[in-house]
């Protein structure tokens, strides 16, 4: 099995997140009574579904994504069809957008996925490099990465809300308890998100590896990442923080940005790709 080490690490972090979910549900049952467990279960599921549906719609709307014309972009459509055949998956919807920088992202799941490619990326990359980027995005859909990330974010939110209410109700229900509960909820959510971000970084390595497998080499995607990194310098991105987590490339910043990064360092990704 390819990248078994990465998958084991993702499984380990996923287990920790599930433990946080159980703890959050336990807090809710303590607050509202054990008879409330059906409402807690249904409520958490609906919360995750809501985040997934709204997040997908907002990500496409935020970049002004438009449907990719099959005649104008026939080469890209053919590339996607070929890779989807290799992956044994349905062809996702293809869209194009002006993002201000060369980039691409995928959202949705198998059978209802969407791949968005920026016009800047199409102009920048050679055909085999663009194929590598597309294969990477299709791998995210194939691996159900978007759903995994939404579930992780939902667990962080649920656990944070549970801690907030637990702190608020443990005191005298005055303004100080409300403020303390709010702060505790935010800090708790940020702590759980560190594990979610770890999964996000692992999934980028896995998608890179899968892309290299399906196109036969990691070199085209490695060159693409180099061009994207250099091509993004000095340009103003129209991609918001929420969408940048889905993109193939997210700009690097200071220490805090690196701690909360959704992507591993580009140099490490390129090094791994060239070793495949």
What are the tens digits of pLDDT across the range 112-153?
899 999 999 999 999 999 999 999 999 999 988 888 888 888
pLDDT of residue 208: 95
d(CA 189, CA 165): 13
Q: What is the mean pLDDT of the chain?
A: 86
Q: Identify the band that residue 252 occupies on the pLDDT scale cut at 50, 70 and 90.
A: low
How many distinct structural domains can be found in the chain?
A: 1
The answer, yes or no, to whether residue 18 has pLDDT greater than 60, is yes
pLDDT of residue 1: 44
pLDDT of residue 161: 85
Q: Is 137 a catalytic residue?
A: yes
The answer, yes or no, to whether residue 270 has pLDDT greater than 80, is yes
CA 203 from centroid of its chain's CA atoms: 8
d(CA 176, CA 86): 58
d(CA 60, CA 110): 17
Residue 124 CA: distances (Å) to CA of 23, 76, 110, 128, 216: 48, 14, 28, 12, 22
Which range marks the domain in which residue 230 is found? 4-273
d(CA 27, CA 205): 35
Q: Identify the band that residue 224 occupies on the pLDDT scale cut at 50, 70 and 90.
A: very high
Catalytic residue among 66, 137, 252, 271: 137
Report the C-alpha dihedral over residues 72, 78, 84, 90, rounded to 10 degrees: 50
């Amino acid at each position: 099995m390819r990248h078994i080490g990465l998958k084991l690490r993702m499984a380990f972090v996923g287990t920790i997140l599930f433990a946080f979910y159980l703890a959050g549900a336990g807090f809710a049952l303590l607050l509202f009574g054990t008879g409330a467990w059906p409402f807690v279960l249904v409520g958490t599921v609906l919360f995750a579904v809501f985040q997934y549906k709204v997040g997908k719609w907002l990500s496409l709307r935020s970049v002004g994504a438009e449907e990719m014309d099959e005649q104008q972009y026939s080469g890209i459509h053919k590339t996607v069809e070929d890779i989807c055949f290799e992956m044994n998956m349905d062809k996702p919807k293809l869209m194009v957008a002006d993002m201000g920088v060369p980039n691409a992202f995928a959202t949705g799941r198998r059978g209802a996925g969407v791949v968005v490619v920026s016009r800047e990326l199409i102009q920048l990359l050679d055909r085999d490099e663009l194929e590598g980027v597309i294969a990477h995005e299709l791998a995210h859909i194939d691996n159900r990465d978007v759903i995994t990330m939404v579930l992780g974010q939902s667990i962080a939110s649920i656990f944070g809300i549970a801690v907030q209410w637990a702190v608020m109700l443990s005191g005298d229900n005055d303004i100080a308890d409300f403020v303390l509960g709010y702060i505790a909820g935010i800090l708790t959510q940020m702590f759980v998100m560190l594990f979610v971000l770890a999964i996000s970084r692992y999934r980028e390595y896995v998608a890179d590896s899968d892309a290299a497998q399906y196109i036969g080499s990691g070199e085209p995607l490695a060159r693409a990442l180099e061009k994207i990194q250099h091509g993004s310098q000095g340009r103003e991105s129209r991609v918001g923080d929420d969408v940048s987590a889905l993109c193939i490339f997210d700009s690097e910043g200071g220490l805090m940005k690196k701690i909360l990064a959704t992507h591993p360092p580009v140099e490490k990704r390129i090094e791994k790709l060239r070793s495949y």
